[in-house]
Amino acid sequence: MNKIMSATVCAAMAAGSGATAMELSIATGGTGGVYYPYGGGLAEIIGEHVEGYTASVEVTGASVENMALISRFDSDLALALADTVYDAYHGEGDFEDRHIPETRALASIYPNAVQIVTLADSGIESLDDLRGERVSVGAPGSGTEVSAETLLNANGITYDDFEQQRLNFNETADALRDGDIAAGFWSVGPPTSSIMNLAATRDIDIVALSEEEVANAIEAQPVFAEYHLPGGTYEGVADDVRTISTPNVLVVHADMDEDLAYEITRVLFEHTDALIDVHPAANDTTVEFSLGSTPVPFHPGSIRYYEEIGAEVPDDLRP
- Is residue 20 located within the same domain as residue 138? no
Whether 217 and 182 map to the same domain: the answer is yes
Query: Cα-flanking dihedrals φ and ψ of residue 252, to 5°?
Result: -140, 175
Residues 232 and 257 placed together within one structural domain of the fold: no
* Residue-level pLDDT at 58: 97
> pLDDT value at position 189?
85
Same domain, 10 and 106: yes
Mean pLDDT of the chain: 92
Q: Quick one: pLDDT at residue 18?
A: 52
Mean pLDDT within 147-159 = 96
Q: Is 195 found in the same domain as 86? A: no
CB 244 within 8 A of CB 221: no
Tell me, yes or no, whether 35 and 129 share the same domain: no
Which tops the pLDDT comparison, 193 or 161? 161
* H-run or E-run covering 46: helix 35-49
Do 232 and 252 lie in one domain? The reply is no
Select from 246, 272, 303 the last residue of a domain: 246
**Cβ(148)–Cβ(184) below 8 Å:** no
101 neighbors 67 (Cβ within 8 angstroms): no
What is the gyration radius of the CA atoms in the chain, in angstroms? 19
pLDDT of residue 314: 93
What is the distance between the alpha carbons of residues 239 and 59, in angstroms, rounded to a whole number? 33
DSSP line for 77-134: EEEEEHHHHHHHHHT-GGGTTS--TTEEEEEEEEEEEEEEEEETTS---SGGGGTTSE
On whether both 196 and 268 belong to a single domain, the answer is: no
pLDDT digits (tens, 9 = 90+) for 60-72: 998 999 999 999 9
Total domains in the chain come to 2
Digit-coded pLDDT (tens) for 262-307: 999 999 999 999 999 999 999 999 999 999 889 999 999 999 999 9
Determine contact, residues 33/169, Cβ cutoff 8 Å. yes
Q: Which domain holds residue 90?
A: 3-110+248-317
**Residue 316's pLDDT is what?**
92
Q: Are residues 106 and 116 part of one domain?
A: no
Distances (CA, A) of 129 to 155, 157, 265: 12, 11, 43
Give the pLDDT of residue 142. Answer: 86
- Report whether 8 contacts 262 (CB < 8 A): no
Alpha carbons within 13 angstroms on the beta-carbon side of residue 40 total: 12
191 pLDDT more than 70: yes
pLDDT tens profile 6-23: 343 344 434 444 557 899
Does the pLDDT of residue 206 top 50, yes or no? yes
- The residue among 215, 246, 277 that closes a domain is 246
How far is residue 151's CA from residue 166's CA, in Å, rounded to a whole number? Answer: 16
Both 98 and 165 in one domain: the answer is no
Both 268 and 179 in a single domain?
no
**3 state SS of 27:** strand
pLDDT number for residue 162: 98
CATH classification at residue 67: 3.40.190.10
59 pLDDT band, cuts 50/70/90, is very high
User: Mean pLDDT, to the nearest integer, of 172-176?
Assistant: 98
Q: 83 pLDDT exceeds 50?
A: yes
Are residues 130 and 54 located together in one domain of the fold? no
pTM for this entry = 0.76
Name the strand (E) or helix (H) holding 245. Answer: strand 241-253
